[in-house]
Every structure is written in structure tokens, then in C-alpha cells.
Homo-oligomer: A and B are copies of this chain.
Amino acid sequence: MGMMSPAPTAATDTGDERRSARKRRAIIQAATTVFLRNGYLGTSMDEIAALAAVSKQTVYKHFADKQSLFAEIVIGTVNEISDRVYEEVVSLQDSGDIEADLRELARRQLAGGMQPRLLQLRRVVISEAGRFPELGRTFCERGPGRTIAALAAAFERLAGRGVLHLGDPLLAAEHFNWLIMSIPLNRAMLCGDGELPAPADLDRYADAGVRVFLTAYGPGR
């Protein structure tokens, strides 16, 4: 890229670190492509190294084995998507308009959860769940599990303020999550990405889920 060679001083470390971080990103990017295309079993470290244009030794320097590389991709992808709603979930506890805020959250949560890359990753994880349940547990804990735990904490505070009425915050959080996600997510899982609902349809599912949730757990109950 026309950069000067680093001088053989402390700067060398920085240059090495930068090169190393760049290679790591290239490996993750290549691995994501290959895993989503070929599945977990159909992917080899050789293929990832070739696509990332690094040696197989370099791949193994960064990732002990195929499973830790896949776990890294699962964690990176689900974090990236759940990060976007996480702050919103946490701030829900101070909501002054629970209906509007839940609807806004539900729409963002569903739009995030229905991104094709995440759907494809979820499919790969599910297809290997019989052989590698730990991959699925990682997906659960870092993705929906993290959002649901944060929702449960926010719901508990809201119940303390009398805004929601619930006995079991975690169950209420699971009900919220699945009232929003289930219909389009399960259809997409089974029927592929060819028939993903339009954003307006996703919003309708989100709104309908919030309506049912609030009738069961809301202030007017």
C-alpha cells in the first residue's frame, strides 16, 4: 500500500501489531464467507487461508482450531447486531411511554434479527447443533440470550415502577422476544432467504407482538 518500511525500533512492534490485526481481520472475513457458504463441516482451514491470502500457519497463529475461529465469528456477528439494541433495552427501564418505546425497540430488534447474514449464520449453527451444541450455546448466550437477559432486568424495574405487571421477568422477556421474532424468523429459517418479508411487514409483526405483550403484561392489565 506504498507505506514505508517501519524503522527497526519500538515502532516495529506497532507495525507488526497492525499487520497482525489486518491479517486477523482478513482471516475472519474469509472464514465468514466460507462458513456461510459451505457450512461448518464443509469448511477447511486450508480454504480459509487461501481466501484470506495468508498461510495456514498464520491462521493457526490466530485461532487454535476451526471451532474457535467459528466461535469468534458467531460472537462477532451476534454482538454487532445485539449491540445496536442493547443500549435501547437498558434505557427502557426509564421509559415514560412504554407502548411507544416497546414498539420502537421491537421494530429495531426484528429488523436486526432478520438480517440475511445473521439468518445464514443461525442456519449453520442449527445444522451443526447435533454434533456441536456448544456453538449453539455461544450463539444463544451472546445473541438472543444477552438481549433477553437485559430485557428481563428492564422489565423487572418497570414492574417495580408499576408500569408492567409480571411475576417472572425472564419469562416475560422471552415472551416479548418471541412474540416479536417468531413468525418471520421461523419462516425464514425453514424457507430460505428468498421470501424475506418487506420492512413494512416486519413492522406489522413487531407492532402486533407488542400489542399482545402489553395486553398481557402492560399497565392497563
Query: Is residue A8 within 8 Å, beta carbon to beta carbon, of the partner chain?
Result: no
Counting every copy of the chain, the complex holds 2
Q: Does B133 lie within 8 Å of A123, measured CB to CB?
A: no
Complex CA distance for A126 and B194, rounded to whole angstroms: 13
Does A137 sit within 8 A of B, measured CB to CB?
yes
Instruction: Kindly identify which residue among B129, B183, B187, B211 contacts A216, using a CB–CB cutoff of 8 Å.
Output: B211
CA gap between A130 and B139 in the complex, in Å: 20
State the CA gap A144–B183 with chains docked (Å): 11
Q: A212-B216, A215-B215, A221-B215 are in contact. Are A126 and B175 (CB under 8 A)?
A: no
B191 in contact with A136 (CB, 8 Å): yes
Shortest C-beta distance, A32 to chain B (Å), equals 15
Interface flags for A51-63 (1: CB within 8 Å of B; 0: not) read 0000000000000
CA separation between A103 and B215, bound complex, in Å? 19
Picked from B39, B127, B130, B212, the residue with its CB within 8 Å of the CB of A212 is B212
Which residues from B are CB-within-8-Å of A144? 186
Does A152 reach chain B (CB closer than 8 Å)? Answer: no
Q: Given the complex, which residues of B lie within 8 Å of A182, measured CB to CB?
A: 174, 178, 181-182
Q: Is the CB–CB distance between B123 and A194 below 8 Å?
A: no
Residues of B within 8 A of A186 (CB): 144, 178
- Is A125 within 8 A of B192, CB to CB? no
Q: Which 5 pairs, one residue from A and one from B, show the smallest C-beta to C-beta distance?
A: A127-B127, A133-B192, A178-B182, A136-B190, A215-B216
